Every structure is written in structure tokens, then in C-alpha cells.
């Protein structure tokens, strides 16, 4: 009987320790490269968005933001931002989603009873360069990480919607301005462990490829506060992918970050 009581006590202690560990918000992902003959360290190419200007998608029963985005060559993050869909990115049958960024002057997209047949014609050419970035921002932007910029922003190039800052695994990733965390997760393909901070109604910043996320959705953060640890989730090297977006559209972060 004494041995049985001791066993029950040990199980209870173990359960308490497990539950205590579950309450932590720190999420760490390790992505070691494989080694050995024939092994490859290359990761799959990152998906990038191909906007379909003027096109929309009508949500069908059972569809998700990720599914619609994938079927149309768009990242889930872009599709959500272009349509002002907040986390947890819930959509409903009959809802019509825009497959291209809005300039905020477009009329809202509403469900329709029935679609009229459309005669296919030659594809229309759209300008490669988007409208110029906003003239200025009243936010006091800070660099989100130390390190060299190894990839720069290029307007009109869907593969370069932000900048990549090289560094070492575990290096601090900091909020670039005051705001609230609106996304903390790994559900958006191509960004790895991702944190998104909303600064006001027009501006947000995104921090991708982290090793660890240190903040949860809804957390208030200050400029310079550590929100993640640098890593290589979804990337071929340790680095931070950093984006600044104005009304959902990517702009050149280096146009707003202080000189260094």
C-alpha cells in the first residue's frame, strides 16, 4: 500500500510539471541541415504572390484562406491583408475575396446571386511597378535586428516584398515600432515562424523565419522590445525577413528605417 501511495504521488508531481510547461508562450523550432552522402540542405522555394488585378474569388463551403490563396498563386498572408481578414482568418460561403491589393478607393466586394458568363479574352497587361509608397510616416521606426541586409525590396517584384537581415540563430528580433501583435504562428507558408505587429489602422510590420516566437496574439509591444529569436524556419540560412506594409501593400522598409 505504501508503494502504491508513493507511485500516485510521483504521477501527480509529473502531471503538475507537464501542465506548467504547457502554459509558456515561448515557441522554438529547430531546422538542422541534413548531412551525409546525397543529403541536401536546400529548402523548397518560397511561394510568392502573383496578384490577379480585377479578379475575385467566391468562397465555397469548406474553403479556407490558405486553400483559396494556394489555388490562385497567392500567399495566405497577402490574401488576408488584401481583404482585411483578421486572425484567425475566418471566411464564410458567399463571401467574395479580392485577388489583388486594393488602393482603398475600390468599392467593397459583395457576394452576388449568380455570376454571368465571361468570354475569355487576351490577358491584359498591368504595370509592373505599383503606385509610389506613401510620402511619410509618423511612426518612429527602428531596425528590428542587427546584421547586414542581404536582400533588398524591389517595387513590383513579388519575390522581394521586404528585406532580409542576416544574423545568428537566437539573435534578438525586436519590434520596429509600438503596436499590438495580431499574428503569432507558423500557418502562413513561406514565412516560417512569423510575428505580425499592427501599429495603427494603416501600418503593420512582419517578422519571418524566426527560431522562436516570444509574444502571443493580443500582446502590446514597445519599439525595441524583443518579440522573437532569429532563425531559419522556412529559409536556407539564419536571417530575419522583415516587411513594412501600408494599407496592406508592401513598401520599402529602408525608406522608413533610420540610416545606420
Supply the DSSP symbol for 166: E
Per residue in 229-252, pLDDT tens? 999 998 889 999 999 999 888 999
Q: What is the pLDDT of residue 122?
A: 53
The H-or-E segment that residue 9 falls in is: helix 2-22
Q: What is the pLDDT of residue 170?
A: 96
Rounded Cα gap, residues 2 and 7, in angstroms: 9
Q: What is the pLDDT of residue 45?
A: 43
Per residue in 168-222, pLDDT tens? 999 999 999 999 999 999 877 788 999 999 999 899 999 999 999 999 999 999 9
Q: What is the pLDDT of residue 246?
A: 93
Contact 155, 129 (CB under 8 A): yes
Cβ–Cβ contacts within 10 Å for residue 137, how many? 18
Contact 175, 224 (CB under 8 A): yes
The H-or-E segment that residue 70 falls in is: helix 65-71
Domain 45-111 has CATH 1.10.10.10: no
136: three-class secondary structure by DSSP: coil
Q: What is the pLDDT of residue 43?
A: 39
> Average pLDDT in the 111-121 region?
47
Residue 28: pLDDT band with limits 50, 70, 90: low
Q: Where exactly are the structural domains of the chain?
A: 45-111, 149-255
Q: What is the pTM of this model?
A: 0.58
Q: What is the pLDDT of residue 80?
A: 86
CATH topology of domain 149-255: Glucose Permease (Domain IIA) (2.70.70)
Rounded Cα gap, residues 210 and 27, in angstroms: 10
CA distances from 60 to 55, 93, 96, 158, 247 (A): 16, 5, 10, 27, 27
Residues with Cβ within 8 Å of residue 100, at least 6 apart in sequence? 51, 52, 53, 54, 55, 82
Amino acid at each position: 500500500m505504501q508503494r502504491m501511495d508513493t507511485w500516485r504521488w510521483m504521477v501527480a508531481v509529473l502531471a503538475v510539471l507537464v501542465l506548467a510547461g504547457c502554459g509558456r508562450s515561448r515557441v522554438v523550432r529547430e531546422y538542422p541541415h541534413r548531412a551525409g552522402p546525397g543529403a541536401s540542405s536546400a529548402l523548397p522555394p518560397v511561394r510568392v504572390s502573383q496578384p490577379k488585378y480585377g479578379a475575385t474569388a467566391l468562397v465555397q463551403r469548406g474553403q479556407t484562406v490558405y486553400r483559396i490563396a494556394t489555388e490562385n498563386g497567392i500567399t495566405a498572408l497577402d490574401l488576408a491583408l488584401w481583404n482585411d481578414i483578421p486572425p484567425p482568418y475566418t471566411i464564410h460561403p458567399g463571401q467574395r475575396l479580392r485577388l489583388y491589393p486594393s488602393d482603398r478607393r475600390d468599392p467593397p466586394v459583395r457576394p452576388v446571386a449568380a455570376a454571368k458568363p465571361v468570354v475569355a479574352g487576351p490577358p491584359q497587361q498591368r504595370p509592373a511597378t505599383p503606385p509610389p509608397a506613401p510620402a511619410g510616416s509618423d511612426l518612429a521606426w527602428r531596425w528590428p535586428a542587427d546584421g547586414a541586409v542581404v536582400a533588398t525590396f524591389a517595387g513590383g517584384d513579388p519575390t522581394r516584398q521586404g528585406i532580409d537581415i542576416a544574423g545568428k540563430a537566437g539573435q534578438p528580433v525586436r519590434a520596429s515600432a509600438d503596436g499590438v501583435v495580431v499574428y503569432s504562428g507558423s500557418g502562413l507558408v513561406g514565412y516560417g515562424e512569423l510575428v505580425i505587429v499592427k501599429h495603427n489602422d494603416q501600418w503593420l510590420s512582419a517578422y519571418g523565419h524566426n527560431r522562436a516566437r516570444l509574444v502571443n496574439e493580443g500582446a502590446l509591444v514597445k519599439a525595441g522590445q524583443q518579440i522573437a529569436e532569429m532563425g531559419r524556419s522556412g529559409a536556407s540560412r539564419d536571417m530575419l525577413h522583415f516587411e513594412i506594409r501600408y494599407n496592406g501593400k508592401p513598401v520599402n522598409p529602408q525608406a522608413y528605417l533610420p540610416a545606420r
